[in-house]
Structure 1
Amino acid sequence: MIPARCCLRFLPPPPFTHAAQPDAAAVCFPPPETSEDRISQLPPDVQRTIVSKLPVKDGVATAVLSSRWRWIWSSIPLVLDDAQLRPAGAYELDDDEDEDEDTEAAEYLSRAVVGDKVSDILRSHPGPFRSVRLTSSPASSLRDWLLTMAEKGVEELVVLNCEWPTALMVLSVELLRCESLKRLHLALCQMPRLAVPGWPGQRRAVRFPNLQQLVLCHAFVPISDIGGFLAGCPALEVLAFVESCGVPQYIDAFCPMLKCLLFWQFKPVKLTVDAPRLERVILWRTNQFFIPPRTRVIIRRAPNLRMIGYLEPKLHVLESGDTVIKEGTRPNPDAMLPSVEILAVKIRFGVREDERTLMSYLRVFPNIRTLHIQSAPGPLHLEDEDAGGAFWIDGIFSSIKCISKIKKFSFYDFYDMGNDSELLFIKSIAQACSSLEHMLIAISASIMEPPSWLKSRLMDAMSEVEWASEASMLDIVTGNHKEWEYGTASDQSLSDPFEYI
């Protein structure tokens, strides 16, 4: 069972923290030795700016300073992080630490205190709410608050059921009609079931006309409802499923404005994409422990798709149009995806099915400029036909159009575990990519021998290669290099989120 606190790393950070505003209270309150109140003499806009920078509990406190200040806090769009309302000295449980009866009781009391304060704030503030982050409040109060926020208008909402798995929190239907929402992050919550349209008195439409970002982290959505849910989000640009235990199993992403589709440690059975503005599809660790069947990734229409990865032949079956891309597939022109410039693939070198499927992928994407390859551990004992690296012979890429256009190539987790397939593949890339400008090889941190020895052998081996591009630069990195994280994958400002070394 995943602890609630593990989900915090998948949620956006608090808008304000005490550390970011260490002297905020000192700015607003005159020193005790003087009776002169210069802050109250500032223009109203400046006063509003000052209060808006304060943590919520200090912002509320300004309302009791004087009648001059009472209106300021309530006139500012609310920014609320309930973690800032925890009692001083409240016990914070680490992810790897067990709870006992004392800490459970302390946490219960802390949530009760936070719940009372949040209730007072939401009741006293007239709205609108610019950002509300609820990660430390009792689940029993969340439903009532969601109704209040839907009525008063909230733009950004983060909800984490911190009492999971003790309490299951089903969202209120009213939240699904919150037309002011622009960003919604839900963790360890359950969507209310949508009744079948047309049933007497049972029509519950989803109306999120302004919702641009939706992140579901262990948020359970009934299989039959995901299509109706997305249909009510015409402005949706970012859709992410994080550690969602394969629910829903079937996802039809028919979204006219969708730009980014992200699956992080989430394995649906079938994903169908029909999104004219989609730019990136990111799949990562769709299932750490492979459970059949493989996920069908069907690209119906995505004329602006710029990047896709990490595709894994072991876990995914890629379909473009009506063509299944598998080993030996030579797709027709209608199945090609010419808009894709960045491709990331994770394969088991030495496993022929994976290697041949990679060749089929390269035929589907004729205009790749950046190729990322991650090596995955293969079976301990390969079949005779799979043994060795003879597959990657010189000239194997001669019929692959995209090879001459690749400018950047990265190879992650180089193992060299008695299997020369990895090295022969890298050499073949160097010999075939006539436009290659930069090649990066990252040696796996899990190898048994000193990484410096392997780096030296790699340098010697690559020095013997007749490179197709004289302008190519080779970098080989060793040690515990930076791992790819959810924050990197979900960062829309990065032109290439797969470039994580």
Structure 2
Amino acid sequence: MADGAASLLSAAVHGGKGRINGLHDDLLHQIIGHLPFTDAARTSVLASRWRHLWRSTPLAIDDAHLPVPARATSAVAGFLADHPGPLVTVRLRHCRFASLDPTWPRLLAGKGTLQELALFNKDGKVQPYSARLPAEILRCASLRCLSLAFWMFPGGLSGGADIILPQLRVLELINIYISKEDLDTLLASSPVLETLTVRGPWAFRSGAFWNYHKRKRFHLRSQSLRSVVLGLSGVEHFEVTDAPVLESLILKEQSAAGCDDGGRINIACTPKLRILGYLEPRVHTLQIAGNVIRSDTVASPSVVVPGLKILALRVNFRVLREVKMLASFLRCFPNIDTLHIESALHDPSAIHYGVTREQHAELWQEASALKCSISHLKRMVFHKFRGHPNEIEFLKFIATDAHELESLLLVPLKGSFTSAAQVNEMIDKLDCPQFLAWASKVLIVSPKMDIARNLHKASDLSINDPFCY
């Protein structure tokens, strides 16, 4: 888009003064608005008319357009000072904020038209406690999208009086150091916030100290949130309550590497929740309305989430305890129509592999007898399929009970199968005519599909299925 605008502008300039003057101001505003902001500023030297045009064009600043040496100077503050507004978008992901003119936060907040703001603090990435987010940023009342990374949050916000975000709809917090009280204040001061992304490791401020490694409770309550994406490696208990319009809750990288306790996930008062995952039986304890879900939990109104449609689970099929929890989780979500299963293989030294295929077959026979709720399942994606016998027993269970299944997509683990033909050959060798007949109708093998890990896609409710490309 910027290249096309630059070409059109160049053609107008080289065509002579008459052609330039013949273009309507509205068209010239569009051309300037699609240029990188450094090139847009250069148009102001063409003529007095062009200076007026540049100063009245809604400005979008992205420091990626700055030469590397200029990113450590006051160039950005200079652009903000020279341009009276309107200012629409500012993305500062490469600047060294310590080197910028200290007036930049005031200039941003003073424009009154800023809708999208992204501030990535590179210094805070190296020294996590060295940079405090300027409080003026939280007074940009026109903001609709705010993305913050590697900042220490300004503390002691007086009951929301220092935060004015009445139009904020999208909030992204990456490695932010904040008190629980200030986080609550931030959310409460954003009455129309729809999308929240929080990624850690997480640190809560308590008094004068930062508990960076101590595991904490993360309690989320909102009347407006529709989509939440969490990747928190320092939280022992995540709770979402009183979220009446929440539709999607996605957990990413919830547990630290090698950690067998990713915390408790408590879901309550979320009547519109339809997307949930990735739950991991190895590291997560699931609570529904305060009821802990165990391997022997029987479905009842108090432990069932009837509106959930898309569920994603990460399971090691060589560990019987995890497979039992898989069956229990399925009983809690009786109306899912799309199921994602990622086959996980953890550290062999930390688990027991003495589980037989017969034990798994017996478990799924019991689950079938208990009417383990997959009767409405229409689509299943099996990620990182290894072809292990215990995985096959689970597929047999799906074949027996998922009467409405329209497609089963197997995505083999890289290196497990070199072609889809090998998967089909393995299934053909099974001594189970019923399973073979079922597989011939619904089974698809796609070694090229992978799990979607993009945070922006995960939080986008316009994407039907956020768990795969």
TM-score band (shorter)? 0.7 to 0.9
Give the distance between the partners of 1:261 and 1:32, measured in 2 at CA. Answer: 48
Aligned match of 1:262: 229
User: Residue by residue, what CA displacement relative to the aligned partner does 1:133-168 show, whole Å, maximum 9, x if unpaired?
Assistant: 101222122863222211212110011113331583
User: Residue by residue, what CA displacement relative to the aligned partner does 1:354-381 show, whole Å, maximum 9, x if unpaired?
Assistant: 1111111111111111111111104536
Q: Which runs of 5+ in 1 are unaligned?
A: 1-19, 91-108, 198-202
Aligned match of 1:150: 109
Query: 1:435 Cα deviation (Å)?
Result: 0.7
User: Residue by residue, what CA displacement relative to the aligned partner does 1:96-115 show, whole Å, maximum 9, x if unpaired?
Assistant: xxxxxxxxxxxxx4423xx3
Tell me if the contact between 2:217 and 2:236 (Cα under 8 Å) persists in the aligned partners: yes
Structure 2 CA distance for partners of 1:65 and 1:294, relative to 1, 3 Å: same
| Of 461, 476, 489, the match for 2:445 | 476
Structure 2 CA distance for partners of 1:384 and 1:312, relative to 1, 3 Å: closer
| Of 189, 211, 215, the match for 2:151 | 189
The letter for the 2-side match of 1:42 is: L
Between 250-259 and 463-472, report the one with greater CA deviation.
463-472
How much is the aligned-residue C-alpha RMSD, in angstroms?
Answer: 2.6
Q: Pairwise mapping of residues 311-390 of structure 1 onto structure 2 (< 5 A)?
A: 311-378=279-346, 380=348, 383=352, 386-388=355-357, 390=359
Give the distance between the partners of 1:216 and 1:187, measured in 2 at CA. Answer: 6
Alignment partner of 1:64 is 2:21: no
Aligned match of 2:259: 291
Query: 1:127 Cα deviation (Å)?
Result: 2.1
* Secondary structure in structure 2 of the residue aligned to 1:390: helix
Give the distance between the partners of 1:410 and 1:268, measured in 2 at CA. Answer: 29
Give the distance between the partners of 1:144 and 1:327, measured in 2 at CA. Answer: 58
Aligned match of 1:28: 9
Aligned match of 2:78: 120
Give the distance between the partners of 2:263 and 2:203, measured in 1 at CA. Answer: 13
| Of 167, 173, 177, the match for 1:220 | 177
Alignment partner of 1:498 is 2:467: yes
* Secondary structure in structure 1 of the residue aligned to 2:400: helix
The letter for the 1-side match of 2:92 is: L
Give the distance between the partners of 1:30 and 1:499, measured in 2 at CA. Answer: 44
* Secondary structure in structure 2 of the residue aligned to 1:440: strand
| Of 113, 122, 126, the match for 1:162 | 122
Query: 1:397 Cα deviation (Å)?
Result: 2.1
Query: 1:23 Cα deviation (Å)?
Result: 4.2
Query: 1:386 Cα deviation (Å)?
Result: 3.4
* Secondary structure in structure 2 of the residue aligned to 1:175: helix
Tell me if the contact between 1:436 and 1:472 (Cα under 8 Å) persists in the aligned partners: no
Give the distance between the partners of 2:449 and 2:440, measured in 1 at CA. Answer: 26
Give the distance between the partners of 1:53 and 1:289, measured in 2 at CA. Answer: 43
Alignment partner of 1:129 is 2:97: no
Give the distance between the partners of 1:85 and 1:443, measured in 2 at CA. Answer: 44
* Secondary structure in structure 2 of the residue aligned to 1:392: helix
Structure 2 CA distance for partners of 1:165 and 1:139, relative to 1, 3 Å: same
Give the distance between the partners of 1:24 and 1:463, measured in 2 at CA. Answer: 65
Between 40-49 and 354-363, report the one with greater CA deviation.
40-49
Give the distance between the partners of 2:386 and 2:55, measured in 1 at CA. Answer: 60
* Secondary structure in structure 1 of the residue aligned to 2:382: strand
Structure 2 CA distance for partners of 1:255 and 1:66, relative to 1, 3 Å: same
Give the aligned length: 448
Between 122-131 and 383-392, report the one with greater CA deviation.
383-392
Percent identity at matched positions? 30
Structure 2 CA distance for partners of 1:226 and 1:181, relative to 1, 3 Å: same
Tell me if the contact between 2:383 and 2:450 (Cα under 8 Å) persists in the aligned partners: no
Aligned match of 1:406: 377
Tell me if the contact between 2:74 and 2:101 (Cα under 8 Å) persists in the aligned partners: no
The letter for the 2-side match of 1:161 is: N
User: Residue by residue, what CA displacement relative to the aligned partner does 1:247-296 show, whole Å, maximum 9, x if unpaired?
Assistant: 34322221111011101364522222121111111112212414364321
Tell me if the contact between 1:270 and 1:297 (Cα under 8 Å) persists in the aligned partners: yes
Tell me if the contact between 2:384 and 2:412 (Cα under 8 Å) persists in the aligned partners: yes
Aligned match of 1:247: 203
Q: Pairwise mapping of residues 55-134 of structure 1 onto structure 2 (< 5 A)?
A: 55-86=36-67, 90=68, 109-112=69-72, 115-134=73-92
The letter for the 2-side match of 1:260 is: S
Aligned match of 2:192: 235
Tell me if the contact between 1:267 and 1:295 (Cα under 8 Å) persists in the aligned partners: no
Tell me if the contact between 2:152 and 2:177 (Cα under 8 Å) persists in the aligned partners: yes
Normalised TM-score (structure 2): 0.88
Query: 1:350 Cα deviation (Å)?
Result: 2.2
Give the distance between the partners of 1:302 and 1:71, measured in 2 at CA. Answer: 51
Give the distance between the partners of 2:288 and 2:127, measured in 1 at CA. Answer: 43
The letter for the 2-side match of 1:192 is: P
* Secondary structure in structure 1 of the residue aligned to 2:21: helix
Structure 2 CA distance for partners of 1:247 and 1:64, relative to 1, 3 Å: same
Tell me if the contact between 1:290 and 1:315 (Cα under 8 Å) persists in the aligned partners: no
The letter for the 2-side match of 1:124 is: D
Give the distance between the partners of 1:368 and 1:470, measured in 2 at CA. Answer: 20
Give the distance between the partners of 2:260 and 2:47, measured in 1 at CA. Answer: 66
Tell me if the contact between 2:176 and 2:202 (Cα under 8 Å) persists in the aligned partners: no
Aligned match of 2:393: 424
Query: 1:399 Cα deviation (Å)?
Result: 2.1
Give the distance between the partners of 2:17 and 2:327, measured in 1 at CA. Answer: 76
Structure 2 CA distance for partners of 1:461 and 1:235, relative to 1, 3 Å: farther
Aligned match of 1:48: 29
Structure 2 CA distance for partners of 1:294 and 1:53, relative to 1, 3 Å: closer
Tell me if the contact between 1:212 and 1:238 (Cα under 8 Å) persists in the aligned partners: yes
Tell me if the contact between 1:181 and 1:211 (Cα under 8 Å) persists in the aligned partners: yes
Alignment partner of 1:306 is 2:306: no
Structure 2 CA distance for partners of 1:439 and 1:204, relative to 1, 3 Å: same
Between 397-406 and 75-84, report the one with greater CA deviation.
397-406
Tell me if the contact between 1:30 and 1:36 (Cα under 8 Å) persists in the aligned partners: no
Give the distance between the partners of 1:294 and 1:469, measured in 2 at CA. Answer: 37
| Of 116, 121, 140, the match for 1:178 | 140
Give the distance between the partners of 1:391 and 1:36, measured in 2 at CA. Answer: 80
Aligned match of 1:3: none
Query: 1:405 Cα deviation (Å)?
Result: 0.8
Give the distance between the partners of 1:331 and 1:123, measured in 2 at CA. Answer: 62
Structure 2 CA distance for partners of 1:205 and 1:415, relative to 1, 3 Å: same
